[in-house]
Structure 1
Amino acid sequence: MCRPDPIFVSIASYRDPELIPTLLDMIAQAADPTALHVAICWQHDEDTSIFLDAGMTLENKSMRGEHDIFTFTYQMVRIQVISIHYYHSRGACWARHLSEQLYQGEKWFLQIDSHCRFATGWDREAVTMARSLLDQTPRPVLSTYPPAYDPVDESKRTQFISRLVFREFSTEGIPMLSSVPFKQPHPVRCGYLAGGLIFAPGSFVQDVPNDPSIFFAGEEISMAARAFTHGYDIFTPDRILIWHYYQRKEASKIWGDHTNEAKNTGSVDLAWWERDKISKKRVRSVLGLEASPADPGAYGHGTVRTLAQFERCIGVDLLSQTVMPDVISSLRQSYFPDGSVSEGDWLARRIHPNKRKITFTRDELAEAPADVDWWHIGVYCPNNTLLDKHTLTREAMAANFVAQKNAWDIELNFSTPATIKPAVVRICPYSHQGWGKVVEKSW
């Protein structure tokens, strides 16, 4: 009987009570658990008793750099734990990067979060699915946002697959992702990958290692771009491999621990938002939006394909923050095959997907007359052309303030030609006396 291909499993875990249930389920549901080599960057309180309490056996303790590494075995699975106090964490990609240092040349690579559940035979299924793609590409990657599970009620598991799509540009100009339901009899090409599920050849760890400078936001689009330029092709899996626990409102998060107060007391070097600010500049440099102050080294682009080709592949022009119409239409297209978009179409058809939340306070609108008939909300470009318009009745405005207390958030979502961008949002009341005071906010 042939031995199964070994799989290196990388997990970043931050004070997560779901880590042990995740490990136990991963092993229980694996078709060939002895092929697994699990590496965990465990950002907790450095008390390893939870692994012993789960029935794992401590085989060895060593040091790598300044970090303790505990090697456990459980049902013939090797589990290596990099133990770090959570105040010393530097973010998700930094933790993933540390886990990757324990890679030992395994045939396949799996990156997941520490709050997952697994389909029966998930390992064999993933390998079979990836191998089926080798006639299309030598470097297939399976990735998407996994369906949801609820640890309180394990019967509540989402049973449909999703594929990744463009959602919006952040204020830093970084493409942010969401997902839509997906149903196909085979894996389908996609331009994006998700940090919570990456299954790829083991070479991915060496070619596209996690950038420890990236804190959290922007990791997925920057890694997708780097993977593409290194010659990896991403596919949406056509079957469920794992489930993911979203929200996790009760769980500790790094932004709840690494606060300004924690920095002031000396518990952390930087507040989370400071790391996030530095990180986003790094992401912008990877995406060609600003110059990098230093050579990115192993965390830069490959030489197989270019960043410009990646933009064509996903239908997104990063610098101008424009997209092909099909990216935000009902099609939600996330991959454009080579040659499917002509140079003329690329230059002429791109549009700005304008999406923003603008907040007005009750005080800002306090000078409005009591007998307002309706409100005008308009978005204007720099030359004062109206791009988007909404009207709101007095009753609707009052209801919004009741629901949101002293602030009112206006969700604006529209598109404009590539040559026109919004500049300001204006709100103005109208009554029988005519127009009232205009309140203006920058876009």
Structure 2
Amino acid sequence: MAAPTAPLLFVSVASYNDPELLPTLHDAYAKAAHPELLRFGVVDQCVEDRYKALPSWKEQIRYLWMQARDARGVCFARSIIQGMMDGEAYVLQIDSHMRFDPEWDRILIDQLRRIGDGRALLTASPMPWTPEAGNTPMPAGKVIKLEQHPDYPLRNRASLLPNPSGEPIPGQRLAAGCLFAAGHLYDEVPYDPHLYFNGEELVYAQRLMARGWTIYHPAVLPVYHLYKQADGDPSLVHWGKTVERYWDHQALRSKGERRIAEAQANRLGPVYSLQPEERPST
């Protein structure tokens, strides 16, 4: 493959027993304005190794298979994926059941560049897609705003709000399954492998802002998410009892909650601190 002449984009994909993993990779590649500039980092926590099923452009995919029984949650997987990066200019962190609009890469890069801040990131809970209805676009003149859930403080609530400016708007919360930023994001604020699921988004947002990053919600979001249904397949969620394993998901959840408490008490040191950095006066 010839050396690229434009900035590379790394796509982080954590997957657990997900039949949509390969379709997600295919759709991201097929819809990109510059598919040759994409690099994928995949941790596939699955009962079978799917390396041989990867597409013909698999040289752009850094793939790690992990037995589903060994999976320890999404933050554990994302922390592994960040080590697969190799100096890419941009990073898109997603889930493994997504769909895209044409030229999604150009759309995200253009919005980030217009902000003009090397520590800005774009994030929101995407509009849905379903096999029956396809993608549901974000209404024109609207933006997806993330706020604290009124009943679950560690979770987000997404709302569609008017956005007459047509530009990204500042926010305080992030969606871990749809996050776009400069590629040095993980270098400055690495993922914490000790968290489980609860608190992932709140704690990472607080750590990023403490290190001087600014959260924005995009005016145009060309990414879509397949949301789980109440009657969905239990084998697709990490806490579903579908494989023999040596850990208990409640124990991992408790460990993560202890980790959050330690971070909030500022007992984890500067890398995982939620407190703003003390910068020397000039």
Same fold (TM over 0.5): yes
The question of 1:30 aligning with 2:14 is answered: no
**1:115–1:244 Cα contact (<8 Å) kept:** yes
CA–CA distance in structure 1, aligned partners of residues 25 and 50 of structure 2: 14
**Cα drift, residue 162 of structure 1:** 1.5
1:256 match: secondary structure: coil
CA–CA distance in structure 1, aligned partners of residues 38 and 51 of structure 2: 22
CA–CA distance in structure 1, aligned partners of residues 278 and 177 of structure 2: 25
**1:162–1:182 Cα contact (<8 Å) kept:** yes
2:22 match: secondary structure: helix
Q: Which runs of structure 2 are paired with 1:9-20 in the superposition (5 Å)?
A: 9-20=11-22
**Cα drift, residue 302 of structure 1:** 6.6
The question of 1:215 aligning with 2:199 is answered: no
- The percentage of aligned residue pairs carrying the same residue is 28
Aligned residue identity for 2:237:
K
**Cα drift, residue 112 of structure 1:** 0.4
The question of 1:284 aligning with 2:261 is answered: yes
1:101 match: secondary structure: helix
CA–CA distance in structure 2, aligned partners of residues 49 and 80 of structure 1: 10
Aligned residue identity for 1:179:
A
CA–CA distance in structure 2, aligned partners of residues 30 and 85 of structure 1: 30
**1:225–1:287 Cα contact (<8 Å) kept:** no
Would you identify which runs of 4 or more consecutive aligned residues in structure 1 move more than 4 Å? Answer: none
**1:228–1:305 Cα contact (<8 Å) kept:** no
**Cα drift, residue 169 of structure 1:** 5.5
CA–CA distance in structure 2, aligned partners of residues 121 and 30 of structure 1: 5
Distance verdict in 2 for CA 1:152–1:20, change over 3 Å: farther
2:44 is matched with which residue? Answer: 42
1:43 match: secondary structure: strand
| Pair member with larger Rg | 1
2:113 is matched with which residue? Answer: 131
1:268 match: secondary structure: coil
Q: Deviation digits for residues 137-191 of structure 1, max 9, x if unmatched?
A: 331100010000002432x524334210121354xxx442111003321100001
TM-score by length of 1: 0.57
Aligned residue identity for 1:238:
A
Q: 1:253 aligns with which of 237, 245, 256?
A: 237
2:156 is matched with which residue? Answer: 177
**Cα drift, residue 247 of structure 1:** 1.2
2:123 is matched with which residue? Answer: 143
Q: Which runs of 5+ in 1 are unaligned?
A: 58-71, 307-443
**2:128–2:225 Cα contact (<8 Å) kept:** yes
**Cα drift, residue 301 of structure 1:** 4.0
**Larger strand fraction of residues:** 1
1:5 match: secondary structure: coil
Q: Which runs of structure 2 are paired with 1:54-73 in the superposition (5 Å)?
A: 55-56=55-56, 72-73=58-59
Q: 1:88 aligns with which of 62, 70, 75?
A: 70
Q: Which runs of 5+ in 2 are unaligned?
A: none
Q: Which runs of structure 2 are paired with 1:276-355 in the superposition (5 Å)?
A: 276-288=253-265, 292=267, 295-296=268-269, 298-301=271-274, 303-304=276-277
Which structure would you say has the larger RCO, counting Cα contacts within 8 Å and 6 or more residues apart?
A: 2
Distance verdict in 2 for CA 1:118–1:275, change over 3 Å: same
